[in-house]
A and B are shown apart, each in its own frame.
Chain A
C-alpha cells in the first residue's frame, strides 16, 4: 500500500523497546545504589561513580544488545521452533491417521477443559516437544571410544551456532530484527552453507561407516544445491538491485493490482522471478535435509546417517535445529519472494499522513512462514526418498541450467524495466 511521502510507520522497533527496558532496569539499579549511598555515607562517592558508569553509553548499549538478542533467541526457539514442531506433528498425524499424536497427547496438567468421559483426549499437545527435550536432557551423553572426541563435540556447536547466525539478519518485521545488514542476503546464504562443514566433521569424526557415508552424502548434495540457490539469489538481485533484505521487502510492498481495501501485492513470486522462486524452494528443501532430499540421514539404510552416534542433548540439538533451519529457510523464501511482512490486506491505517499498524506485521510474516513450513511438511510426508545419484542428477542437470535461465530472465527484466 503505497502512500506517497509518508512518514515512518509507527512500528515499535525492537531496539527502542529494549533500550527502554534497559534504561528502566539500570534506573532501578541506580535508585537502589543511591539509597545505599544515602544510608551508608562512606560508600556514597564510589557508588555514585558506579551508577554514572552504569548509565553511561557503553553499558546501556551492551545491555540493550544482550536483551535484544535474548528476545530474538527466545522468540525463535521457544516460540517459533516449538510451534513449528507442534504443527508438523499435528499435520503429519492428520495425513497419516495417527491417533496418538492427533488426539491423545496429554499436555497440560492443568488444562481447564477436561473431557471427563474421554480422559486421554485433553490438551493440544503443545508441550509434547518440551517433554521430549527434557527426556533428551536426562539421557547419557555417549562418545564412541574410537571417535575423535574434540571434533565430535565441536560439530553440534558449529551447526547450532551457524543456524543461530541466520537469525541475526532475518527481519521478522520492519521493526523486529537485530541487524539491518546492507549485505543481508549474502550473509544469510553464507551462514546457511556453514552447516555442511559441521555435518562433514560429524560424519568423519564419529569413525563409523554409516556416519561417514552420511557425511559425504551431505557434502555432495549440499554442494550441488548451493549453486542453484545462489544463482537464483543473483537473479533476484538483478530485479532488486540490492542485497539488503529490508530493501527487498519494501520493494514488494507496492501493489500489483489495487482493489481499494485489499491489493494483490507485487511479490517477486508473482513476477518473472517465479522460476527462481520455484528452484530456490526446491534447493531449500535439500538444504533443510527433508524428505525427499534427506539422504544424509536416510534412516532406512544409514540408521540415522551422520547423527547416528550422537546421543542425549547433542542429538537433541541437532534434531531440533533442523526445524530451526526449516524456519530460517522458509523465512528467507518469504522475505525474498513472498513479500516478507507485507500483507495483501491493509496493514496500516492512515491518520493524516501517519501510518498506524492495524495488524502486527509479524503476524503476516509468521502466517506466511508457517504456511510455507506446512507445505514442506506436506511434501516430506507424501513422497519417498530420492537416491543419491538421482539427487545429484536433479541438482546438476536440472536445477543448475534452469537457474541459469532464471538469471537470464532476471537480467532481461532489468533491461526491460530498469
Chain B
C-alpha cells in the first residue's frame, strides 16, 4: 500500500480542540507529520491593543479555558511590572494559591483527556470527579468555575472567604488519598506502560532547540522550572521540588506522564505551605494607574510550559503592543520529531502526553 496522509482533525475525537494533525502513514507507521494550526485563531494580540489594561484580564482568561488563572496572572504580572505596581504580600500569596489550584485543575483535565486517548475511559471520569474538588475551591475563591477573572493588576480581585485554608486542607487530604487509585490505574498497569514507555521520544538537545518547555522539558531530564530559575510572586519562600525525570532515558510519553502526575502532589504541597506562610490579614491589592508608559515583561511557569507576556505602553490607557508566547505553540513545532517512526495509534498517546491546549496555541 502506498503512503498516504491521514487527517487527525480538525473534527476528530483525538484533537483536544480545533486543530489538525496531518500524519503520513506507511501502513501503520508514521513517516511524517505536519501540525496545522489556525482553526481557532482569534487575533488576541491585536484585540488587546484596543482595550484598556484592566479589561484585557477578561480576554487573557480565555486564552486557555482549562488554565485561565495562570494566563491572566502572567498578563497582570507583565503590566504590573510595566506600571511599577508593587503587589502586597497577601496578594502575592493569594496569587500563588490560585495559580497552584489552577495548575492542579489543569493537570487533572490533562489526566482526564489522556485516559480516553489510550482507550481508558475510566481515567476520564475519575479525574473529572477529582477536578470538581478544585473547581469548587476556585469557585469559592473567585466565584467562577471557568474564566475566573481573578488576578488584577496589582493584586487579586478579592480576598478568600473565611475558613478557606481549612477547606483547601480537607479537599487536598481527600485528593491525595485518591491518588493511590490513579497509580493502580496508570502506573501499575502493564498495558499502560506498554503504550507509553519508549514512545514519542525526544532528546533534551532537540527539545531545547525546538522551544519545548515546562513539564515536557523536565521529562527530558532538565531541571528547568521558572518558579525556581526566575522566581515571581513568593515562590522563593516556598519549599518545593520541581518534578524532573531522574531515570536513564527520559523524553518519552511515560516520563512526561510521570512528571505531570507528580506535579499534582507538589502543587498540593505548595498550597498547604502557602496557607502556613501567608499573613493572615492585610491588603491584597494596590491601586494601579490607568495609563502607563514603558515596557513590561513577565514569564511564568504555566501548566504547560513557559508562558510569556511582553507589553508595551505608550502613555495611553491601552497597550501599544502585546506579544504572547504560548508554550504549546512552540511544542507543536517539535511534534514531527515526536511522531516519526511511531505507530498510528501512538499519535494520540504522544499528543495526549504533551498536553495540548488549542486556545493558547492559536491565540
Contact in complex: B122, A389 (CB < 8 Å): no
Q: By CB atoms of chain A within 10 A, which of B126, B189, B191, B347 has the most?
A: B191
Name B152-179 residues within 8 Å CB distance of A: none
Please, how many angstroms separate the alpha-carbon atoms of A92 and B192 in the complex? 19
Please name all residues of chain A whose beta carbon is closer than 8 Å to the beta carbon of B125 when the two chains form the complex: 96-98
Contact in complex: B119, A209 (CB < 8 Å): no
Please, how many angstroms separate the alpha-carbon atoms of A299 and B115 in the complex? 12
Q: A70-78, A229-237, A326-334, A379-387: which lies at the B interface?
A: A379-387
Contact in complex: B12, A384 (CB < 8 Å): no
Contact in complex: B126, A301 (CB < 8 Å): no
Contact in complex: B118, A301 (CB < 8 Å): no
Residues 6-45 of B, flagged 1 when their CB comes within 8 A of A and 0 if not, give: 1010001110000000000000100000000000000000
Contact in complex: B344, A97 (CB < 8 Å): no
How many residues of chain B have a CB within 8 Å of chain A?
30
CB distance from A219 to the nearest CB of B (A): 13
Residues 117-129 of B, flagged 1 when their CB comes within 8 A of A and 0 if not, give: 1111110011001
Neighbour of B28 across the interface among A292, A385, A388, CB < 8 A? A388
Contact in complex: A387, B346 (CB < 8 Å): yes
Neighbour of A298 across the interface among B115, B120, B345, CB < 8 A? B345
Please name all residues of chain B whose beta carbon is closer than 8 Å to the beta carbon of A303 when the two chains form the complex: 12-13
CB distance from B347 to the nearest CB of A (A): 6
| Minimal Cβ-Cβ distance residue in A for B342 | A387
Please name all residues of chain A whose beta carbon is closer than 8 Å to the beta carbon of B118 when the two chains form the complex: 300, 384-385
Judge whether B194 is part of the interface by a CB distance below 8 angstroms: yes
Q: By CB atoms of chain B within 10 A, which of A98, A384, A386 has the most?
A: A384
CB distance from B307 to the nearest CB of A (A): 28
Contact in complex: B13, A299 (CB < 8 Å): yes
Please name all residues of chain B whose beta carbon is closer than 8 Å to the beta carbon of A388 when the two chains form the complex: 28, 343-345
A381-B194 CB under 8 A given contacts A209-B4, A301-B8, A301-B347: no
| Minimal Cβ-Cβ distance residue in A for B346 | A387
Judge whether B348 is part of the interface by a CB distance below 8 angstroms: yes
| Minimal Cβ-Cβ distance residue in A for B118 | A384
Judge whether B185 is part of the interface by a CB distance below 8 angstroms: yes
Please, how many angstroms separate the alpha-carbon atoms of A98 and B345 in the complex? 27
Contact in complex: A96, B121 (CB < 8 Å): yes
Please, how many angstroms separate the alpha-carbon atoms of A277 and B115 in the complex? 30
Contact in complex: A390, B194 (CB < 8 Å): yes
Residues 293-334 of A, flagged 1 when their CB comes within 8 A of B and 0 if not, give: 011001111010000000000000000000000000000000
Contact in complex: B345, A383 (CB < 8 Å): no
Please name all residues of chain A whose beta carbon is closer than 8 Å to the beta carbon of B122 when the two chains form the complex: 92, 95-96, 381-382
Judge whether B195 is part of the interface by a CB distance below 8 angstroms: yes
Name B83-137 residues within 8 Å CB distance of A: 115-122, 125-126, 129
| Minimal Cβ-Cβ distance residue in B for A96 | B125
Name A78-136 residues within 8 Å CB distance of B: 92, 95-98
A300-B348 CB under 8 A given contacts A294-B119, A383-B120, A387-B343: yes
Contact in complex: A387, B345 (CB < 8 Å): yes
Please, how many angstroms separate the alpha-carbon atoms of A386 and B194 in the complex? 8
Residues 174-203 of B, flagged 1 when their CB comes within 8 A of A and 0 if not, give: 000000000001000101101100000000
Judge whether A291 is part of the interface by a CB distance below 8 angstroms: yes
CB distance from B129 to the nearest CB of A (A): 5
Please name all residues of chain A whose beta carbon is closer than 8 Å to the beta carbon of B120 when the two chains form the complex: 291, 382-385
Contact in complex: B119, A381 (CB < 8 Å): no
Neighbour of B345 across the interface among A97, A301, A382, CB < 8 A? A301
Judge whether A248 is part of the interface by a CB distance below 8 angstroms: no
Please, how many angstroms separate the alpha-carbon atoms of A292 and B120 in the complex? 9
Please, how many angstroms separate the alpha-carbon atoms of A210 and B25 in the complex? 12
CB distance from A127 to the nearest CB of B (A): 24
| Minimal Cβ-Cβ distance residue in A for B194 | A390
Contact in complex: A209, B6 (CB < 8 Å): yes
Please name all residues of chain B whose beta carbon is closer than 8 Å to the beta carbon of A389 when the two chains form the complex: 28, 343
Please, how many angstroms separate the alpha-carbon atoms of A96 and B14 in the complex? 21
Residues 25-48 of A, flagged 1 when their CB comes within 8 A of B and 0 if not, give: 000000000000000000000000
Judge whether A213 is part of the interface by a CB distance below 8 angstroms: yes
Q: By CB atoms of chain B within 10 A, which of A96, A295, A303 has the most?
A: A96
A295-B345 CB under 8 A given contacts A381-B122, A383-B191, A384-B118: yes
Please, how many angstroms separate the alpha-carbon atoms of A266 and B78 in the complex? 76
Please name all residues of chain B whose beta carbon is closer than 8 Å to the beta carbon of A390 when the two chains form the complex: 194
Please name all residues of chain B whose beta carbon is closer than 8 Å to the beta carbon of A300 when the two chains form the complex: 13-14, 116-119, 345, 348
A387-B185 CB under 8 A given contacts A96-B121, A96-B125, A381-B121: no
Neighbour of B119 across the interface among A92, A210, A213, A385, CB < 8 A? A385
Name B215-268 residues within 8 Å CB distance of A: none
CB distance from A303 to the nearest CB of B (A): 6
Please, how many angstroms separate the alpha-carbon atoms of A291 and B121 in the complex? 10
Please name all residues of chain A whose beta carbon is closer than 8 Å to the beta carbon of B189 when the two chains form the complex: 383-384
CB distance from B42 to the nearest CB of A (A): 27
A387-B195 CB under 8 A given contacts A97-B126, A301-B348, A303-B13: yes
Please, how many angstroms separate the alpha-carbon atoms of A209 and B194 in the complex? 26
Neighbour of A96 across the interface among B8, B126, B195, CB < 8 A? B126
Name A253-285 residues within 8 Å CB distance of B: none
Please, how many angstroms separate the alpha-carbon atoms of A383 and B13 in the complex? 19
CB distance from A369 to the nearest CB of B (A): 24
| Minimal Cβ-Cβ distance residue in B for A93 | B125
Residues 320-354 of B, flagged 1 when their CB comes within 8 A of A and 0 if not, give: 00000000000000000000000111111000000
CB distance from B353 to the nearest CB of A (A): 13
Please, how many angstroms separate the alpha-carbon atoms of A7 and B28 in the complex? 60
Residues 207-220 of A, flagged 1 when their CB comes within 8 A of B and 0 if not, give: 00110010001000
Contact in complex: A301, B14 (CB < 8 Å): yes
CB distance from B179 to the nearest CB of A (A): 15
A97-B129 CB under 8 A given contacts A381-B121, A381-B122, A382-B185: yes
Contact in complex: B344, A213 (CB < 8 Å): yes
Neighbour of A386 across the interface among B8, B28, B191, B347, CB < 8 A? B191
| Minimal Cβ-Cβ distance residue in B for A217 | B28
Neighbour of A292 across the interface among B115, B129, B191, CB < 8 A? B191
CB distance from A154 to the nearest CB of B (A): 24
Please, how many angstroms separate the alpha-carbon atoms of A292 and B13 in the complex? 18
CB distance from A321 to the nearest CB of B (A): 21
Please name all residues of chain B whose beta carbon is closer than 8 Å to the beta carbon of A209 when the two chains form the complex: 4, 6
B residues at A contact (CB < 8 Å):
4, 6, 8, 12-14, 28, 115-122, 125-126, 129, 185, 189, 191-192, 194-195, 343-348
Q: 19 interchain pairs (CB within 8 A)?
A: A98-B125, A217-B28, A294-B119, A298-B345, A300-B13, A300-B116, A301-B348, A303-B12, A303-B13, A381-B122, A382-B120, A382-B185, A384-B195, A385-B118, A386-B191, A386-B194, A386-B195, A388-B344, A388-B345
Known A-B contacts: A299-B119, A384-B120. Give 9 more (CB < 8 A): A209-B6, A213-B28, A213-B344, A298-B119, A384-B118, A384-B119, A385-B120, A388-B345, A389-B343
A residues at B contact (CB < 8 Å):
92, 95-98, 209-210, 213, 217, 291-292, 294-295, 298-301, 303, 381-390
Q: Report the 3 A-B pairs with minimum CB-CB distance, sorted nearest first.
A: A385-B119, A384-B118, A96-B125
